[in-house]
Structure 1
Amino acid sequence: MSSYQGVKEGAKQVVRLLEKFPDERFKYLVSFKKSQLERFRRIAGLPVASEGGAANSTAQITSINEIKDIVNRTSGPLGLQKDMLKKMQAAIPHDQFTEASMKAQIVSLTDLVNNKYKNYYDVGDKLYKPAGNPEYYQRILDDITGQKKENVFAGLRTVFWGK
């Protein structure tokens, strides 16, 4: 198997692992899972899904690959000076994977998906439920997930009396 085929097959395995990866609890402008899926689908030669879930072939949004293409194939796109063009080409990230680096990616993602380090470095109840305020972390999680909201008076009571 050639190096290119090995990288392509490794990228397909990484995509399968990333699809098992849980979604982020908090919505950010950029999602780790979505950005890495897009990156490795492109390397694997798979269709890249857009925001709506459809393939990106019909989307009219300019992608980073199209920008890279414009910068790389022309000597002076859009009237840019040559020194500015060289700075842009130097700033564009280049994905250069080898079979060994893809295997390392796969091993790392497998460990993360299987919670290897969470299980290996298990934290006891002393940290999760401190003696001074055993409900502290559960209150925070309930507030984040929206299960139980504290009003202003309950929050003040918690601050002053710790209950």
Structure 2
Amino acid sequence: MTQTAKESAKQLVRLLEKFPKERVKHLVSFKEAQLDRFRPVAGLETAGSSEQSKPSIAEIKDIINRTSGPLGLKKDLLKKVQEALPEEQFSETQIQEQIKSLNALMSDKYKNYYAVGDKLYKPAGNPVYYQRLNDEIEGKGKETIFTAMRTVVFGK
């Protein structure tokens, strides 16, 4: 890997560290997955590698290479798994494309370009529907069993 690609990867990692955390918890975080993917390319240590509970792809490959048949797997199946694991090689242009895409996401380029009108956010049949969902996600307003039943029965 060239030095310019490594510098671009460092720039991408700095940009990813500024990326906001996801409001809704998922099994895999976009931000963390991308940081784990590009830190080795940039030559940086993975943050919290000692406290990380899940093995990385590199550790899984190492385990597969060191053992003849982990967990009773057959050698031909192990070979298929090893061939299926990605070997990523990044060029400077590929990393610059990643940076450009991440900048577009962070600046809400597509949210602003494809602006959605008030008609969609506040439908005539139930104008507070999305606000109620947003409040529930953010933990602002909790519905009781009675208000939930009212919503189901009356639709509002």
TM-score normalised by structure 1 residue count: 0.82
Q: CA deviation at 1:83?
A: 3.0
Task: Write out aligned runs for 1:3-82 (5 A).
Answer: 4-50=2-48, 56=49, 58=50, 62-71=55-64, 77-80=66-69
Unaligned runs of 5+ in 2: none
Amino-acid identity (%): 58
Contact 2:24–2:137 (CA under 8 A) maintained in structure 1: no
- After superposition, the Cα gap between the structure-2 partners of 1:59 and 1:143, relative to the gap in structure 1 and judged at 3 Å, is closer
Query: Does the 8 A contact of 2:19 with 2:31 survive in 1?
Result: yes
Q: How many residues align?
A: 151
User: Against the structure 1 CA distance between its residues 129 and 60, is the aligned structure 2 distance closer, same or farther, given a 3 Å change threshold?
Assistant: closer
User: What is the aligned partner in structure 2 of residue 154 from structure 1?
Assistant: 147
TM-score, normalization by structure 2: 0.85
* 1:96 and 2:94 are equivalent in the alignment: no
Q: Give, in whole Å, the separation in 1 of the partners of 2:114 and 2:21.
A: 23
Deviations 1:65-93 (A, max 9, x none): 2332454xx5xx32246534431321111
Tell whether 2:106 aligns with 1:113: yes
Which sections of structure 1, spanning at least 5 residues, go unmatched?
51-55
In the TM superposition, what whole-angstrom CA distance separates every residue of 1:34-55 from its partner, at most 9, and x where no partner exists? 11111111110112112xxxxx
**1:60 CA displacement:** 8.0
Q: 1:11 to 1:78 in 2, by over 3 A?
A: same
Runs ≥4 residues deviating over 6 A: none
Greater RCO structure (CA 8 Å; 6+ sep): 2
Residue 104 of structure 1 aligns with an amino acid whose one-letter code is E
